[in-house]
Structure 1
């Protein structure tokens, strides 16, 4: 895949919809342009990815979003990604998200409504599941909320807590992680407005607030976050479309700018990115613009580590578009695209 591997993007896709696996692309530093340099085809439907920079080096993790959910790990410290171990079962259905937390890999399993913990070896390889926490409950949307659907699991900025966002139960669960036993203990639950269908959340750079994106109701729920007590408190709800919309919309991914001034939310259906201005405290989010994402059905939205460029993984148009964000207004402008069939997520290393 070439000698240069200091700035690469890894793009997940749905092989069941024509994707080719994980596409590896070089990132041109000045323009952010992507150039495909290789493909990793090891598991079906590697829809969501994450990169961990640990003592073992840079490791790429991918879910296999299938009925027999699994994860797989790759050493990406060198120019050629190298699979570390065979895919490991998560004992859950359709994992949609994963995060590394204090030496453990955690997955949110949408199909089974559960969260799985897998301890990581010294080389970054995931071991057998040490815990599977099944969520309980339902919501008013009978088609989408007949049971729990864990959609995201991630650590809080302090690293002390694990948060799970459940679309099916309209809840965010807060866990403590026992790193010796590899088990989760439920600490608290935050209930959101019934029918919200929370999908993902993103933290303010200060760590004082979190922004929960509703998939079933196109809203951003601004929450105060108390890392000392592990308390998530909703304080206000902001519609992504204050004047309404005639489209059937499905928000997907929130991203906060490194300076804490802007929040971006990708919206499927309208195929747009909503730009929200945040106040100095991070407690108010005001929609200021909505711009085309550059493709159809933006399943994921990622921010380049430089903090100035957004990448939308457009599942139905089969491409990844990059957009330059104005640092003053936060409004992104399309700069280019790369064809990636059934694109689903983007991460950088």
Structure 2
């Protein structure tokens, strides 16, 4: 694996062992947004060069798509993943690189000036992903270093309450590394993707007790390193992004039984691509477009979904204009794709053809040191 891929994981291990303190965060001058501008939120790492600020509030122009960071918020270190509550009144973030790992709840009643509600242990090291159950009553967190998934009950004000369960994945020969936890479109099943275990776990969440009960363990190809999964809006298929194999695997999803079935796998790279590559994020649209970030190639791969969700075809790749594209997201209009280039500390923007799904070259770029995730 490349030096870039190891940096974060080596840092996680050394930080956990040393019990180092979280990095302090500078604060930028506040600014106001208005008109067609809406708040956006940016999470970043403290260990990059230069170090990220942890959590930034940005202005997002809905008409032009332009993104502009305007202020940072102290006390939210290493925000590597962000997730909204169903009503978007609260934003939750992982604090990935602090000792032992924590999660933070932020009130968005004043969206331009988020306020910390509380911070609580994630019950594991290296929390790398979280999501809110559709009921709005539980927070689900994937702890990468420990290979665990934690459940926390949410308080009336959106704060993170007591943990109700912790499940630990097992695997050989590699240690488990839980990398994502989400709820399926039906709202009936919790799905956890584990990179170390080469597996996707499906659970039923008991909404009375807050406990997880395993329903299925789907084994991916050995050594493929599944990282993230995205469901098709049809609710019958999902697409599993494999970080170590640079592939996407089509999954058939039975929402009644809560089970996946493996389909075909396709490369995230063109046939002539060379060198190391570690895909990071996958986005699927209702009009059958799929986008994947390639760390190493530094591209966004564009796929078309066909045959009623069962097949993917790589139509091309677009240079991200930055280094190590970790996360990408479409805005609510689906006209703009924003890419977080972690190592170059930039968020680049692309226009999207809403008919063909094709992407333009880079439209613009903003500096956000150590950027890991963009939430619009």
Bin of the TM-score, shorter chain as denominator length: over 0.9
Alpha-carbon distance in 1 for matches of 2:40, 2:372: 13
Alignment of 1:3-22 (within 5 A): 4=34, 7-17=38-48, 18-22=51-55
- Aligned pair 1:205/2:221, yes or no? no
Whether the 8 Å contact between 1:12 and 1:346 is mirrored in structure 2 is: yes
Residue equivalent to 2:84 = 51
Residue equivalent to 2:21 = none
- Aligned pair 1:32/2:62, yes or no? no
How far apart are 1:331 and its partner, in Å?
1.9
Structure 2: 5+ residue stretches without partners: 1-30
Any idea what the Cα deviations from partners look like across 1:221-252, whole Å, max 9, x if unmatched? 00111111101111111112251521200000
**What secondary structure sits across from 1:115 in the alignment?**
strand
How far apart are 1:120 and its partner, in Å?
0.2
Alpha-carbon distance in 1 for matches of 2:252, 2:233: 13
Equivalent position to 2:92, from 58, 61, 86: 61
Alignment of 1:1-349 (within 5 A): 1-2=31-32, 4=34, 7-17=38-48, 18-54=51-87, 58-66=89-97, 67-78=99-110, 79-85=112-118, 87-101=119-133, 102=135, 103-139=137-173, 146-259=174-287, 261-333=288-360, 334-348=362-376
Alpha-carbon distance in 2 for matches of 1:159, 1:294: 37
Whether the 8 Å contact between 2:198 and 2:221 is mirrored in structure 1 is: yes
Whether the 8 Å contact between 1:33 and 1:337 is mirrored in structure 2 is: no
How far apart are 1:138 and its partner, in Å?
3.0
Alpha-carbon distance in 2 for matches of 1:292, 1:12: 22
TM-score (norm 2): 0.87
Alpha-carbon distance in 2 for matches of 1:3, 1:277: 36
Alpha-carbon distance in 1 for matches of 2:270, 2:32: 48
**RMSD of aligned residue pairs (Cα, Å):** 1.4
Structure 1: 5+ residue stretches without partners: 140-145
**What secondary structure sits across from 2:47 in the alignment?**
helix
Residue equivalent to 1:143 = none
Residue equivalent to 2:22 = none
Which aligned segments of 4 or more residues in structure 1 are displaced greater than 3 angstroms?
A: 3-6
Whether the 8 Å contact between 2:144 and 2:177 is mirrored in structure 1 is: yes
Whether the 8 Å contact between 2:129 and 2:142 is mirrored in structure 1 is: yes
Give the total of aligned pairs. 338
TM-score (norm 1): 0.94
How far apart are 1:280 and its partner, in Å?
4.9
**What secondary structure sits across from 2:274 in the alignment?**
coil
**What secondary structure sits across from 1:127 in the alignment?**
strand
**What secondary structure sits across from 2:162 in the alignment?**
coil
Any idea what the Cα deviations from partners look like across 1:258-281, whole Å, max 9, x if unmatched? 32x211100000100011111151
Whether the 8 Å contact between 2:53 and 2:77 is mirrored in structure 1 is: no
Alpha-carbon distance in 1 for matches of 2:325, 2:77: 20
**What secondary structure sits across from 1:273 in the alignment?**
strand
Any idea what the Cα deviations from partners look like across 1:11-30, whole Å, max 9, x if unmatched? 10002220001111111111
Alpha-carbon distance in 2 for matches of 1:258, 1:113: 32
Residue equivalent to 1:142 = none
Alpha-carbon distance in 1 for matches of 2:217, 2:333: 34
Structure 1 pair 203–127 and aligned structure 2 pair: CA distance change class (3 A): same
